[in-house]
Amino acid sequence: MKKFLIPAIALAAASVAVPAMAQSYGPQHRGDRYERPYERDNRGGWMNISQRKYNLDRRIDQGERNRQLSRREASRLRAELNALVRLERNFMRGGLSVRERAELDRRYDRLSVQVRAERRDHDNRRY
């Protein structure tokens, strides 16, 4: 009986220890995003052109679907968004300077405020 009990205990101990040894407790390469929770992974909060356009376009579509925006307001906001995307592409041709990046960020923020204001103003509604 002892011949079977000792190898069984050794096998149980090894089955518990092997997965623990496989786990790495060394330096984790997580991009330091856990050390700086208020900064985004993409260079200090800068979202790329497609993500910002997607977010604003989604908000405009949602406002039009919920009838918070009239068709005219939505088309005007989309035209402003498309003009801003074209401007950003023009800036990116030669690489974005700090001034151009700040200008684009300011314009995106202003457009975001306009979308929020148009969705909350309750004009051109039938209810």
Which amino acid does the sequence have at 76? R
Q: What is the average per-residue pLDDT within 84-89?
A: 90
The answer as to whether 83 is a domain residue is: yes
Predicted confidence (pLDDT) per residue in 58-83, tens digit: 999 999 999 999 999 999 999 999 99
Q: 84: pLDDT confidence band, cut at 50, 70 and 90?
A: very high
The answer to the question of residue 44 being in a domain is no
The model's pLDDT over 30-59, given as tens digits with 9 standing for 90+, comes to 444 444 443 344 455 666 766 888 999 999
Tell whether the model's pLDDT for residue 123 goes beyond 50: yes
- DSSP output for 37-103: TTS-TTTTTPPPHHHHHHHHHHHHHHHHHTTSS-HHHHHHHHHHHHHHHHHHHHHHHT---HHHHHH
pLDDT band at residue 18 under the 50/70/90 scheme? low
Sequence-separated (6 or more) residues with CB below 8 Å from residue 87: 104, 107
For the chain, the residue count is 127
- Is 93 a domain residue? yes
User: For 1-14, what is each residue's pLDDT tens digit?
Assistant: 667 777 778 777 77
Q: Is 100 left (phi over 0), alpha (psi -120 to 50) or beta?
A: alpha
Which structural domain, as residue segments, surrounds residue 58?
A: 49-120
The span from the CA of 39 to the CA of 45, in Å, is 6
Query: For position 40, what pLDDT does the model report?
Result: 42
| Residue 60, in any domain of the structure | yes
Q: Is residue 97 part of a domain?
A: yes
CB burial class (10 A; 0-12, 13-18, 19+) of residue 35? exposed
The answer to the question of residue 90 being in a domain is: yes
* Token output for 91: 């800036």
Q: Out of 18-32, 55-69, 80-94, 95-109, which region has the weakest mean confidence (pLDDT)?
A: 18-32
Tokens describing residue 5 = 């009990």
Residue 73 lies in a domain: yes
For the chain, the domain total comes to 1
Residue 65 lies in a domain: yes
